[in-house]
């Protein structure tokens, strides 16, 4: 099969996708492009609108492609752009061995099934046809300062937006008052009653919060019962006190500073990523970043939250040591392949969403992974929970805190539950789930996990396997 | 779970279980709770929740115990770069035999699977010996004792390890093995009794009679009793008949002989028609009592002639010659027998005891069998690799090029790449299986050459059916020598 712009255009699902793909033929949008002549594979990473860059793979032999973006079009604009760049002879493609995520796709793919419809190509609409550019990134029309009508329209729109914001704020204040009343009702009736049916009780107040457009708070309340019920019965009372107390503190903090970006994010929704990029006040952190893990959570509202956790190995400020790249997409869009694999490293800069202890972030720039210099993990504090304490003292509504852990081991308590135990200092943290059996008893040189206040979810660990007999341990 | 209480947490929690808890609030929080009423109750909840988070450390309810770490093996793990491919291969090897061959191939290249990709279960018998420490670990056992199996250390062995050690003891010291089994027999489960009595087949003698008679009379498990009865029948046969008489009886009841060919007068053996399953135990007892010398003499030929003439067309009776050959056969006789098997259609015979017979041959003797083996069609990955003996992952390309296995692979691949669809006379699953077999049999240079050949034909090097060939080409065989 020919590999040129015409063939790629024929493989495009519609003219809009092809045009949108053409719009992405900008090397600056592609921090990574590589190819492998022996296999005919090309791959790259494209910075899209999500926190994580999209990973794109294409097979030049049959125009098969795969992208981690949520688009249902096939091939998507990112795949088209990658192929167009290669077909145009772009010299920015480094010759390399296919990384695991590329090999994995090739391994799972059946020729023809994940590829372009080579046997029976769908007729592509003419580029000139008046097709809606749904996928194209159309720029906002700029305001003409010499057009009084346009200025008046813009002012009216701003006034309407301000009125809407005020009415939303008042609605949310009312909802917060209801939340406080609801919390008091739970106490008055006794938390034993609350723990008998937390789902039913939380569902009602969560719906009220959703009506008041506090969708983030609504999800948090909706998911609280699952957090409670995951714990053994004897721990649920304490956890209920923590959950309800945090809700109260969050609602009060927001009432005191409704424009605070962190509190707005906790109550309503995260701000637009582009707005963050434009702001000079958002914290940034450069260094060598290592991907620790990708966590995927299905939320009660039907959305999937996919979070890539990163550790900055060379962070000057320990408060900006961890970064969480979060993307949220509908469950119906299907499972998305993880944008990073644990252990991946790159040198680059992250931009943090403003917060008392920034954590949520987005990649701003990254250099070719091949250039990443070696770096070791930073030293962990003797008491790992001080990291969570600092975060909670600054933002007491925090649900989970990433922890850097020093040398330790997985151990078991008398009931057979798994713990992580520090080698020195005696700290021990219960795990949310047991590690894989071969890891039990092994020394972990370092690790990182998420502390929920009751359990540790291990994100990454460096086990020291026994060296082959006759060799020294490394 | 929480620890280090410095205020009346228990009281607060008890109160909240059934209603407001303001009366149980610590005195030091009085100022913060001054407004009283609903506001004070809410503040108390927020304060207590926050204090639980920042002021408390989780404490286990009892002592924390470290598990015994996964023991080291004698070989290093497969490198990180190969793990993804190997995991894919393991995933495809749902059948235990295929997995065993993959692990065996890896071990011949001086590597073991990474423990996060695969570890054996406590009763996995069919794994390369290098993984034995992991199997013991999975069974919760310490490494097996270094001294021989005995009554004192009986419990220190895993079931699989004990079985192997008992078979070794029976081979080396037949009487000691019998005494040990007699001493432990009453404490064993039925499945262990069956397993260990079965090992008595090896070196069975009159010394075992009293023990077997006891089992026949008293054992609670019918299958153990049945096994003892069969072994006693063998002893009876030996006692009643000389090898010559047993051989004569065997030919009388079961086997026909004739000579074919005008000049060479080749010996031909075949089973008589009147046979049934009930007579099988008698057949086994007769063949065991006769021995190879008497059988050959009775057939009127040499031992080698007899071995070559043994019929393979009866699955009810044919395989019972193999234990006798394994025990009494000379290398050239075993080699001749295997050449007969390898030269036959797969459907006519089985791989029963073939790996064990291969082990009796030297590397050079095994090598002489390879060309015959490679002509054989329709063998599964497991069957093919288990027949390779010491030559797994070591066959040179020159030996394979002329084989049916290679020719069929090329023909099927060519048809597929030219879009002609599968060849009608061959089942469609055969190409992936052939490519996998080739991946497991070639030496490193052969694997690289095969990959080049396939790439020239137009097969993408990224095709997952080439996983084992690529792993083979990437894994350096010198590693073992450097570590031996």
- The answer to whether A441 touches B77, Cβ cutoff 8 Å, is no
B48 touches chain A (CB under 8 A): yes
Question: Has residue B251 been placed in a domain?
Answer: yes
Instruction: Write the pLDDT tens digit of every residue in B53-94.
Output: 998 888 888 899 988 889 999 999 999 889 989 999 999 887
- Maximal C-alpha separation, chain B: 120
Residue A305: name the closest of A294, A297, A313 by CA: A297
Question: Has residue A120 been placed in a domain?
Answer: no
A434 touches chain B (CB under 8 A): no
Q: What is the pLDDT of residue A340?
A: 80
The DSSP secondary-structure symbol of A454 reads S
**Lowest mean pLDDT: which of A43-57, B51-65, B248-262, B439-453?**
A43-57
Single residue among A222, A251, A267 that ends a domain in this structure: A267
State whether B47 and B98 are in the same domain.
Answer: no
State whether B246 and B323 are in the same domain.
Answer: yes
Q: What is the pLDDT of residue A129?
A: 33
Residue A103: name the closest of B449, B88, B237, B176 by CA: B88
The answer to whether the CB atoms of A238 and B1 lie below 8 A apart is yes
State whether B275 and B236 are in the same domain.
Answer: no
Residue A72: name the closest of A24, A136, A135, A7 by CA: A135
> CA separation (Å) from B241 to A260, B282, B329?
101, 13, 22
Written as six digits, the tokens of A248 are 């109260």
Question: Has residue A305 been placed in a domain?
Answer: yes
Cβ contacts (< 8 Å) between B480 and chain A: which residues? none
Question: Has residue A379 been placed in a domain?
Answer: no
State whether B307 and B294 are in the same domain.
Answer: yes
Instruction: Write the pLDDT tens digit of every residue in B423-440.
Output: 557 776 788 999 999 999
Domain total for chain A?
Answer: 4
- Scanning B200-262, the segments in alpha helix (DSSP H) are 209-218, 222-240, 243-253
Q: What is the pLDDT of residue A473?
A: 41
Q: How far, in Å, CA of A398 to CA of B54, rounded?
A: 12
Q: What is the pLDDT of residue A132?
A: 29
Which residues on adjacent β-strands are paired with residue B456? none
Q: What is the pLDDT of residue A169?
A: 87
Q: What is the pLDDT of residue B201?
A: 85
The answer to whether the CB atoms of A429 and B58 lie below 8 A apart is yes
* CB burial of residue A335 (10 Å; 0-12, 13-18, 19+): exposed
Question: Has residue B39 been placed in a domain?
Answer: yes
Q: What is the pLDDT of residue B386?
A: 84
Confidence of residue B421 (pLDDT cuts 50, 70, 90): low
Site from B64, B89, B113 to mutate, A interface, most A CB atoms within 10 angstroms: B64
Written as six digits, the tokens of B230 are 């069969």
Q: What is the pLDDT of residue A134?
A: 32
A467 touches chain B (CB under 8 A): yes
* Number of Cβ pairs < 8 A linking chain A and chain B: 171
- Scanning A116-230, the segments in alpha helix (DSSP H) are 148-189, 191-196, 198-211, 215-229
The CA-to-CA distance between both ends of chain B, in Å, stands at 51
Domain range for A188: 155-267
Element containing residue B460 per DSSP (H, E): none
Question: Has residue A119 been placed in a domain?
Answer: no
Confidence of residue B194 (pLDDT cuts 50, 70, 90): very high
Question: Has residue A456 been placed in a domain?
Answer: yes
Question: Has residue B444 been placed in a domain?
Answer: no
Tell me the shortest Cα–Cα distance from A176 to chain B, in angstroms: 13
Single residue among B329, B349, B377 that ends a domain in this structure: B329
Domain range for B299: 241-329
Compute the C-alpha angle B3/B5/B11, nearest 5°: 115
The answer to whether the CB atoms of A39 and B88 lie below 8 A apart is no
Compute the C-alpha angle B234/B236/B240, nearest 5°: 120
B47 touches chain A (CB under 8 A): yes
Question: Has residue B376 been placed in a domain?
Answer: no
- The answer to whether A213 touches A172, Cβ cutoff 8 Å, is yes
The answer to whether the CB atoms of B20 and A191 lie below 8 A apart is no
CA nearest to B9 within chain A = A238
- Residue numbers of A between 300 and 359 with CB closer than 8 Å to B: none
Single residue among A241, A267, A293 that ends a domain in this structure: A267
Element containing residue B7 per DSSP (H, E): none
State whether A255 and A280 are in the same domain.
Answer: no
Q: How far, in Å, CA of B182 to CA of B212, rounded?
A: 10
Instruction: Write the pLDDT tens digit of every residue in B12-32.
Output: 989 999 999 998 888 888 888
> CA separation (Å) from B75 to A273, B104, B140, B288, B444?
50, 12, 22, 41, 19
Q: How far, in Å, CA of B16 to CA of B208, rounded?
A: 74
B238 CB-near residues (< 8 Å, 6+ apart): B246, B288, B289
The answer to whether the CB atoms of A245 and B64 lie below 8 A apart is no
Q: How far, in Å, CA of A88 to CA of A27, rounded?
A: 12
Q: What is the pLDDT of residue A1?
A: 66
Cβ contacts (< 8 Å) between B70 and chain A: which residues? 438, 441-442, 465-466
State whether A246 and A197 are in the same domain.
Answer: yes
Question: Has residue A138 been placed in a domain?
Answer: no
Instruction: Write the pLDDT tens digit of every residue in A133-151.
Output: 233 334 445 556 677 777 8
Single residue among A232, A267, A302 that ends a domain in this structure: A267
Instruction: Reply yes or no: is the peptide bond before residue A195 cis, omega within 30 of 0.
Output: no
Count of CB atoms situated within 10 Å of the CB of B273: 6
State whether B209 and B177 are in the same domain.
Answer: yes
> CA separation (Å) from B278 to B27, B155, B249, B310?
90, 39, 17, 22
- The answer to whether B110 touches B483, Cβ cutoff 8 Å, is yes
Cβ contacts (< 8 Å) between B45 and chain A: which residues? 183, 187, 241, 244-245, 248
Confidence of residue B164 (pLDDT cuts 50, 70, 90): confident
B180 touches chain A (CB under 8 A): no
- The answer to whether B361 touches B336, Cβ cutoff 8 Å, is no
Single residue among B224, B240, B256 that ends a domain in this structure: B240
Q: What is the pLDDT of residue B143?
A: 67
Question: Has residue A143 been placed in a domain?
Answer: no
Instruction: Write the pLDDT tens digit of every residue in B229-238.
Output: 888 988 888 8
State whether B123 and B200 are in the same domain.
Answer: no
Which residues on adjacent β-strands are paired with residue A54? A46
Give just the sign of the alpha carbon dihedral A164, A169, A172, A177.
negative
State whether A395 and A351 are in the same domain.
Answer: no
Q: How far, in Å, CA of A205 to CA of A218, rounded?
A: 8
State whether A260 and A277 are in the same domain.
Answer: no
- The answer to whether A448 touches B77, Cβ cutoff 8 Å, is no
Cβ contacts (< 8 Å) between A387 and chain B: which residues? none
State whether B318 and B249 are in the same domain.
Answer: yes
CA nearest to A391 within chain B = B54
State whether A176 and A256 are in the same domain.
Answer: yes
- Structure ipTM: 0.75
Instruction: Reply yes or no: is the peptide bond before residue B221 cis, omega within 30 of 0.
Output: no
Partner residue opposite B69 with nearest CB, options A388, A413, A466: A466
State whether B168 and B233 are in the same domain.
Answer: yes
CA nearest to B76 within chain A = A468
State whether A311 and A413 are in the same domain.
Answer: no
Residue A269: name the closest of A207, A210, A222 by CA: A210
Site from B36, B46, B132 to mutate, A interface, most A CB atoms within 10 angstroms: B46
State whether B107 and B167 are in the same domain.
Answer: no
Instruction: Write the pLDDT tens digit of every residue in B117-147.
Output: 999 988 787 788 899 889 888 887 766 677 7
State whether A222 and A303 are in the same domain.
Answer: no
Q: How far, in Å, CA of B153 to CA of B342, rounded?
A: 43
Question: Has residue A354 been placed in a domain?
Answer: yes
Q: Which residue has the tokens 């073939």?
A: B354
The segments of chain A whose pLDDT lies below 70 read 1, 49-50, 108-145, 273-275, 277-278, 333-337, 368-372, 469-474
Question: Has residue B221 been placed in a domain?
Answer: yes
- Residue numbers of B between 93 and 122 with CB closer than 8 Å to A: 115-116, 119
Q: How far, in Å, CA of A383 to CA of A427, rounded?
A: 7
State whether A98 and A170 are in the same domain.
Answer: no
Average pLDDT for B346-375: 85
Cβ contacts (< 8 Å) between B58 and chain A: which residues? 428-430, 454
Question: Has residue B87 been placed in a domain?
Answer: yes
> What is chain B's mean pLDDT, rounded?
86
State whether A339 and A417 are in the same domain.
Answer: no
Q: What is the pLDDT of residue A127?
A: 36
Site from A103, A119, A387, A438 to mutate, B interface, most B CB atoms within 10 angstroms: A438
Q: How far, in Å, CA of B17 to CA of A198, rounded?
A: 14
Q: What is the pLDDT of residue A278?
A: 67
Which range scores top for mean pLDDT: B28-42, B144-158, B260-274, B336-350?
B28-42
A148 touches chain B (CB under 8 A): no
State whether A392 and A449 are in the same domain.
Answer: yes
Domain total for chain B?
Answer: 4
Cβ contacts (< 8 Å) between A393 and chain B: which residues? 54
Q: How far, in Å, CA of A331 to CA of B258, rounded?
A: 75
Q: How far, in Å, CA of A79 to CA of A56, rounded?
A: 6
């Amino acid at each position: 099969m020919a590999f040129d712009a015409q063939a790629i255009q024929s493989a495009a699902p519609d003219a809009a996708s092809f045009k949108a793909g053409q719009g992405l033929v900008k090397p600056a949008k592609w921090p990574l492009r590589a190819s492998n002549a022996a296999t005919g594979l090309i791959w790259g990473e494209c910075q899209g609108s999500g926190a994580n860059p999209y990973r794109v793979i294409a097979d030049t032999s049959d125009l098969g492609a795969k992208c981690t973006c949520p688009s249902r079009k096939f091939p998507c604009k990112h795949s088209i752009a990658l192929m167009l760049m290669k077909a145009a002879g772009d010299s920015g493609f480094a010759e390399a061995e296919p990384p695991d995520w590329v090999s994995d796709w090739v391994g799972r793919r059946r020729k023809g099934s994940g590829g372009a419809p080579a046997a029976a190509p769908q007729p592509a609409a003419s580029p000139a046809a008046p097709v809606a550019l749904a996928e194209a990134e159309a720029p906002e029309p700029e305001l003409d300062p010499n057009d009084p009508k346009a200025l008046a329209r813009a002012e009216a729109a701003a006034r309407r937006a301000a009125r809407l914001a005020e009415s939303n704020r008042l609605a949310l204040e009312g909802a917060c008052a209801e939340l406080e009343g609801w919390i008091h009702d739970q106490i008055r009736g006794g938390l034993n009653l609350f723990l008998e049916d937390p789902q039913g009780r939380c569902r009602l107040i969560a719906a009220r919060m959703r009506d008041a457009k506090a969708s983030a708070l609504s999800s948090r309340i909706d998911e609280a019962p699952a957090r409670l019920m995951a714990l053994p019965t004897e721990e649920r009372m304490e956890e209920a006190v923590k959950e309800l107390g945090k809700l109260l503190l969050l609602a009060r903090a927001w009432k005191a500073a409704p424009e605070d970006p962190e509190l707005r994010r906790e109550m309503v929704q995260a701000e637009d990523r582009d707005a963050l990029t434009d702001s000079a006040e958002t914290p940034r952190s450069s260094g060598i970043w290592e991907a620790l893990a990708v966590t995927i959570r299905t939320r009660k509202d039907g959305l999937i939250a996919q979070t890539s956790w990163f550790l900055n190995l060379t962070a000057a400020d320990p408060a900006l040591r961890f970064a969480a790249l979060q993307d949220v997409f509908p469950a119906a869009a299907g499972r998305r392949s993880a944008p990073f694999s644990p252990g991946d490293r790159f040198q680059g800069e992250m931009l943090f969403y403003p917060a008392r202890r920034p954590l949520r972030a987005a990649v701003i720039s990254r250099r070719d992974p091949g250039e990443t210099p070696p770096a070791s993990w930073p030293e962990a504090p003797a008491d790992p929970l001080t990291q969570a304490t600092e975060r909670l003292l600054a933002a007491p509504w925090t649900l989970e805190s990433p922890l850097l852990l020093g040398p330790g081991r997985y151990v078991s308590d008398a009931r057979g539950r798994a713990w992580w135990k520090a080698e020195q200092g005696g700290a021990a943290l219960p795990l949310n789930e047991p590690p894989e059996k071969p890891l039990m008893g092994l020394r972990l040189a370092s690790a990182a996990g998420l502390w929920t206040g009751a359990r540790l979810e291990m994100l990454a660990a460096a086990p020291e396997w026994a060296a082959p007999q006759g060799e020294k341990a490394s | 779970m929480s620890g280090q209480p410095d205020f009346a947490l228990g009281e607060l929690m008890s109160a909240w279980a059934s209603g407001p808890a303001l009366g149980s609030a610590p005195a030091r929080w009085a100022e913060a709770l001054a407004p009283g009423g609903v506001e004070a109750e809410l503040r108390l909840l927020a304060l207590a929740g926050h204090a639980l988070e920042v002021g408390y450390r989780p404490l286990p309810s009892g002592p924390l115990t470290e598990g015994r770490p996964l023991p080291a093996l004698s070989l290093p793990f497969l490198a990180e770069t190969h793990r993804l491919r190997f995991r894919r291969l393991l995933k495809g090897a749902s059948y235990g035999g295929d997995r065993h061959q993959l692990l065996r191939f890896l071990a011949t290249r001086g590597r073991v699977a990474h423990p996060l990709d695969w570890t054996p279960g406590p009763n996995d018998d069919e794994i390369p010996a290098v993984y034995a420490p992991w199997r013991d670990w999975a069974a919760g056992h310490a490494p097996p004792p270094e001294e021989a199996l005995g009554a004192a250390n009986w419990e220190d062995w895993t079931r699989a390890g004990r079985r192997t050690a008992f078979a070794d003891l029976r081979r080396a010291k037949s009487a000691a093995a019998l005494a040990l089994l007699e001493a432990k027999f009453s404490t064993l489960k039925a499945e262990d009794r069956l397993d260990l009595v079965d090992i008595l087949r090896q070196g069975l003698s009159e010394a075992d009679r009293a023990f077997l008679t006891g089992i026949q009379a008293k054992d609670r498990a019918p299958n153990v009793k049945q096994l003892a009865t069969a072994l006693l029948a063998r002893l009876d046969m030996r006692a009643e008949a000389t090898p010559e008489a047993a051989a004569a009886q065997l030919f009388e009841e079961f086997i026909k002989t004739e000579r074919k060919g005008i000049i060479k007068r080749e010996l031909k053996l075949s089973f008589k028609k009147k046979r049934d399953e009930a007579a099988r135990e008698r057949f086994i007892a007769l063949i065991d009592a006769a021995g190879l010398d008497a059988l050959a003499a009775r057939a009127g030929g040499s031992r080698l002639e007899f071995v070559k003439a043994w019929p393979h067309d009866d699955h009810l009776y044919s395989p019972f010659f193999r234990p006798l050959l394994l025990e009494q056969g000379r290398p050239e006789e075993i080699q001749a027998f295997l050449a007969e098997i390898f030269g036959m259609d797969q459907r006519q015979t089985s791989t029963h005891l073939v790996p064990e017979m291969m082990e009796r041959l030297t590397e050079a003797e095994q090598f002489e069998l390879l060309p015959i083996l490679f002509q054989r069609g329709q063998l599964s990955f497991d069957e093919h690799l288990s027949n390779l003996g010491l030559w797994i992952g070591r066959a040179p390309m020159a030996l394979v090029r002329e084989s049916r296995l290679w020719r069929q692979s090329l023909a099927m691949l060519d048809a597929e790449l030219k879009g002609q669809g599968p060849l009608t006379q061959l089942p469609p699953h055969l190409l992936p299986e052939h490519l996998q077999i080739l991946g497991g049999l070639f030496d490193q240079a052969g694997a690289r050459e095969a990959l080049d050949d396939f790439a020239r034909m137009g097969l993408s090097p990224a095709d997952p059916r080439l996983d084992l060939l690529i792993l083979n080409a990437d894994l350096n065989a010198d590693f073992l020598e450097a570590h031996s």
